[in-house]
Amino acid sequence: MRGPRHPEPGVSSHSEQAGLEQAVVRRQGSRGFWPLRDLPVLVWLAATVVVALVHPFVPAPRWLMIHLLMLGAVSHAIVVWSRYFTDALLHSAEDDRRSQNRRLLLLNGGVILVVVGVPSHVWPLTLLGATAVGSAVLWHGWTILRQLHAALPARFGSSVRYYVAAACFLPVGAGLGTALARDLADPWHTRLVVAHAAVNLLGWVGLTVVGTLVTLWPTMLRTRIASGAERATTRALPVLVCSVLVTAGGASAGVRPLAAVGIAGYVTGLLLTAPAFVDALRRKPPTAFPAWSVLSGLTWLVGTLVALGAGIGAASSWPQVHEVFGWLTPFLVAGFGAQVLLGALSYLVPVALGGGPTPVRAANLVLDRGAPLRLVVTNTGLLLCALPVPSTVRVLASVLVLVALAATLPLLILAVRASRSATAHPTSAPGGARVPHGRPAGQMSGLAATGLAVVVMAVAAGVAVDPAVLGAGTTVSAAAGVAATGETTTVEVEARDMRFTPATISVPAGNRLVIVLTNTDDEDVHDLVLETGTDSGRLSPGETVRVEVGVVGRDLDGWCSVIGHKQMGMVLTVHVTGTGTGTGTGAAPTTAAASSEGHASHLHGPGVNDGDPSPAETDETREVEPTPATDHLDLMAEPSPGWAARDAALPPLPALPRSRVHRRTFVVRDVEREVAPGVTQRLWTYGGTAPGPVLHGRVGDRFEITLINSGSIGHSIDFHAGALAPQRPMRTLAPGQSLTYRFRATRAGVWLYHCSTMPMSAHIANGLFGAVVIEPRHLPSVDRSYLLVQSELYLGEQGGEVDVTKLADENPDLAVFNGFANQYDHAPLTARVGERVRVWVLDAGPNRPTSFHVVGAQFDTTYAEGAYLLRRGESGAQSLGLQAAQGGFVELTFPEPGDYPFVSHVMIDAERGAHGNFRVSP
């Protein structure tokens, strides 16, 4: 059905607005429940939530969440609703629903193949899925273009042109994504990632959103469309399209300034359409969830694009662009993509279900439940994640954002039920009872305040989990009985490269001392703890804090309390001038409060005053010192109930005709783990275990490891299995930062990976290490294969961290295989008589060698550091000697049933826990 001719552009009348609203709302053929239209978007959203909840256990979780939401949910919604608006705006007859169903099946089937193919590294599956997605969208765009040519000129025909332009971009983005799945090396990888995102996010999604909101936005606000809106939209389209092309082209060509100019042009195009949006907003501010959610999403879009353009323009290399883009991606996806999608669905789903005013209002009322609370939690939570907050706070804020966004899913289901109920039981009043639109102002303010309170509680909880971020504990006076002068000495101190600059501060006796501490390190976290207990709290790179020392009457020592930093020379001295009573730090009785790691907060209570506490007061007010872990050490004891040995089995690799890509995410976490029966330590770990996850592949395989630092201090990773310049991939990450480490395994062996942040010995000894097993070509198969990683433990306090003094003295308490003393005595490794067993051995150190030996057996094959020392034959070997960071394997068969101990034949280490058993059955 062809529509009537519209007034001249720029002329807006109430009758025309009403007609447009009726065209958009009363699409009779599209009303009611339509499974292929309504269900897939809910399924994709639910899948996104599930992956977010179980992300530590799935491959490539970040990529998966982004594509489930944007490629799955958002793309499905675009294909559905852009067709819906095309029919409405052009007053055209509805196309055969069967054809739409075929397009939707092709689209969603392709998305399924992509989200399975990329994480599983099956590139043909990815290619097939991307082809299906691109074909479905091209088919969709061609259908819309035919409708546009067949219809009479329409006032808002420019919106339909946006849909056609958007449909042209997605196949290009799909092609770029398919190329990225081939695991291209940098800088090509980063350049194509930016181009891929520009084409898909700004072209496919952005153009569709702008073209739709020119009519949907005032309709959602229940106000008229601004005069001249269609002209502004028409002018903006070529600007936006050209900007996407410039951004993608500049990124692909490696011209960073050109990519930045393209993003600036895109923001300019958005600003061309802004007057019409602002006009509607000024006349009728949002009162319900859909409009507020869309407005929030647009705000995040503009803000992140400005930040991205500035970041790309200021970057001096593509790795820096990768960091900026990686940091901003979650805000583009969750802030813009998710909020616009959920806001639009919350408005359109009730309309599409139909049934008259009463069912629509009933569904709207359900979808508006808790709107201010959800909106405030989502947006303040995202803003909190964008700030330099501790990792625990960022994690809690992310959880709140996820919950607030996910709450829309059950509300959509409840809205469908409410609509059906209202349709089945309409009110007797003509037109149905009116449901008041919006909420009372007081109720909205209360819900918004509740949302803000929830976020504040998350901040408080995050700080409570890691109080070091604020600095905690009670301090004692540094006055030493000296009268205050009333003057203040302020000194600026920088923390960088394991040094404080200046390292000595002079202050007149009786002056109040203020230290302005700035962490100017590029990578690492630092703090300053004085012997009085004054603590700056942990500072990320670039952060500054004022440390109020108080009146100073004696010399003071200070240090960085981050593990190992003090031992590397990161100390500071406060020297008092103008008095003969400054006796140095050794004379002050309060120095007993300061442990070697700076835990002076053990003092509390009435003994803390402006003078020095007496020895008696110090004894009374000191908390009980934590016990050394060695007090609990009994290697003859049984492990705690519920303990399970680490699985040492190394499964055989699948038979593949070519090399494969291994994508893993390593999250650095501080965890308390049992390392011997009854002995616990707070370890720094990759993925919650020490050793970290095992990587297993063949020569030629590629590895793409995403490292996320969720620990309390700076960490890094160094893969010996890769050969590349260390400056970028091995750099130290501050808490909350991440990077992607890519390398190709070009040589066989069992390779160490470890944290390379200084002091490296402490980071390795406290758990940050693991193994990469790269099998040589034509490696013979065996019946069983095991991996044993030997390391040392220098026990600190029970439940504490590594004792760096023992580490410096090379005096370990334990030597262990796979992280636990004697664990394979309690859970022996199994084999059968006559089976060929291969044992891969890696010495992770950080300091001691090993000599791997199996009591009662002989090795007929030994392999060390990439070469065979002995092959099967008449000769044999009794041990495999390895220095720290060396690895290899042995092969053997067991002649008869029994228990065969395996040890490090550095016998003192066998007695320290480097001991286990093979249990051989007939």
Which strand ranges, in their side-by-side order, compose the sheet holding 556-559? 504-508, 571-577, 556-559, 529-530
What is the Cα–Cα distance from 423 to 31, expressed in whole angstroms?
A: 13
Q: What is the DSSP letter of 354?
A: -
**Does residue 96 fall inside a structural domain?**
yes
Does 420 lie in the same domain as 529?
no
pLDDT at 9: 35
pLDDT at 396: 85
Does 78 lie in the same domain as 45?
yes
What residue type is assigned to position 333 of the chain?
Answer: V
Does 272 lie in the same domain as 229?
yes
What is the Cα–Cα distance from 831 to 468, expressed in whole angstroms?
A: 49
**Is-contact 133 111, C-beta < 8 A?**
yes
Does 487 lie in the same domain as 449?
no
**Is-contact 887 796, C-beta < 8 A?**
no
What is the Cα–Cα distance from 240 to 163, expressed in whole angstroms?
A: 13
The owner of tokens 């408080």 is 460
| Rg of the chain, C-alpha, whole Å | 33
**Does residue 19 fall inside a structural domain?**
no
pLDDT at 29: 47
Domain count, the chain: 4
Torsion sign across C-alpha atoms 3, 8, 14, 17 = positive
**Does residue 656 fall inside a structural domain?**
no
Does 289 lie in the same domain as 274?
yes
Please report which residue ranges of 738-863 form alpha helices under DSSP H. 760-765, 804-808, 823-826
**Does residue 210 fall inside a structural domain?**
yes
Does 189 lie in the same domain as 250?
yes
**Does residue 622 fall inside a structural domain?**
no
What does pTM read for this prediction? 0.60
**Is-contact 458 484, C-beta < 8 A?**
no
Task: Find out whether 763 is annotated in a ligand binding site.
Answer: yes
**Cβ-based burial of 13 (10 A; exposed 0-12, middle 13-18, buried ≥19):** exposed
pLDDT at 440: 56
**Cβ-based burial of 322 (10 A; exposed 0-12, middle 13-18, buried ≥19):** buried
Does 205 lie in the same domain as 62?
yes
Last residue of a domain, which of 353, 384, 401?
353
Does 485 lie in the same domain as 449?
no
Does 147 lie in the same domain as 294?
yes
What is the Cα–Cα distance from 205 to 408, expressed in whole angstroms?
A: 21
What is the Cα–Cα distance from 225 to 874, expressed in whole angstroms?
A: 91
Torsion of CA 497, 501, 504, 505, to 10 degrees: -140
Phi/psi zone of residue 205: left (φ > 0), alpha (ψ -120 to 50 degrees), beta?
Answer: alpha
The residues of the chain scoring below 70 in pLDDT are: 1-33, 93-95, 154-156, 183-186, 355, 391, 426-444, 463-476, 579-625, 656-658
Beta bridge partner(s), residue 750: 773
φ and ψ at residue 757, rounded to 5 degrees: -75, 140
| Bond prior to 846 in cis (omega within 30° of 0) | yes
Chain centroid offset of residue 665 CA: 9
**Does residue 628 fall inside a structural domain?**
no
CATH number of the domain residue 819 falls in: 2.60.40.420
pLDDT, tens only, 759-808: 899 999 999 999 999 998 889 999 999 999 999 999 999 999 999 989 98
**Does residue 620 fall inside a structural domain?**
no
CATH number of the domain residue 135 falls in: 1.20.210.10
Torsion sign across C-alpha atoms 211, 215, 221, 225 = positive
Task: Find out whether 575 is annotated in a ligand binding site.
Answer: no
What is the Cα–Cα distance from 757 to 744, expressed in whole angstroms?
A: 23
Strands 850-854 and 880-882 turn out to be: antiparallel
Strands 886-893 and 836-845 turn out to be: antiparallel
For residue 822 the two structure tokens come to 């004697």
35-53 and 391-406 helices cross at what angle (nearest 10)?
160
**Is-contact 256 315, C-beta < 8 A?**
yes
Task: Find out whether 560 is annotated in a ligand binding site.
Answer: no
Task: Find out whether 905 is annotated in a ligand binding site.
Answer: yes
**Is-contact 741 665, C-beta < 8 A?**
no
Chain centroid offset of residue 8 CA: 51
Last residue of a domain, which of 582, 614, 646?
614
Residues 6+ apart with CB under 8 A from 881: 849, 850, 851, 852, 864
pLDDT at 87: 82
Query: What is the b/e burial string over 666-705, where b = at least 16 CB atoms within 10 angstroms of the residue's CB?
Result: bbbbbeebbbbbbbbbbbbbbbbbbbbbbbbbbbebbbbb
What is the Cα–Cα distance from 900 to 854, expressed in whole angstroms?
A: 7
What residue type is assigned to position 782 of the chain?
Answer: V
Does 314 lie in the same domain as 222?
yes
For 785, half-sphere exposure in the C-beta direction (CA atoms, 13 angstrom radius) is 14
> For the chain, what is the total number of helices (H) and then of strands (E)?
24, 27
Strands 861-864 and 886-893 turn out to be: antiparallel
**Does residue 632 fall inside a structural domain?**
no
Does 476 lie in the same domain as 394?
no
Residue 85 burial (CB count, 10 A): 24
Nearest in space to 829 (alpha carbons), one of 614, 649, 665 = 649
pLDDT, tens only, 578-619: 764 443 433 333 333 333 333 333 333 333 333 333 333 333
φ and ψ at residue 562, rounded to 5 degrees: -60, 135
Does 156 lie in the same domain as 101?
yes
pLDDT at 266: 95
**Cβ-based burial of 483 (10 A; exposed 0-12, middle 13-18, buried ≥19):** exposed
- Structural domain harbouring 453: 354-425+436-465
For residue 586 the two structure tokens come to 């050794």
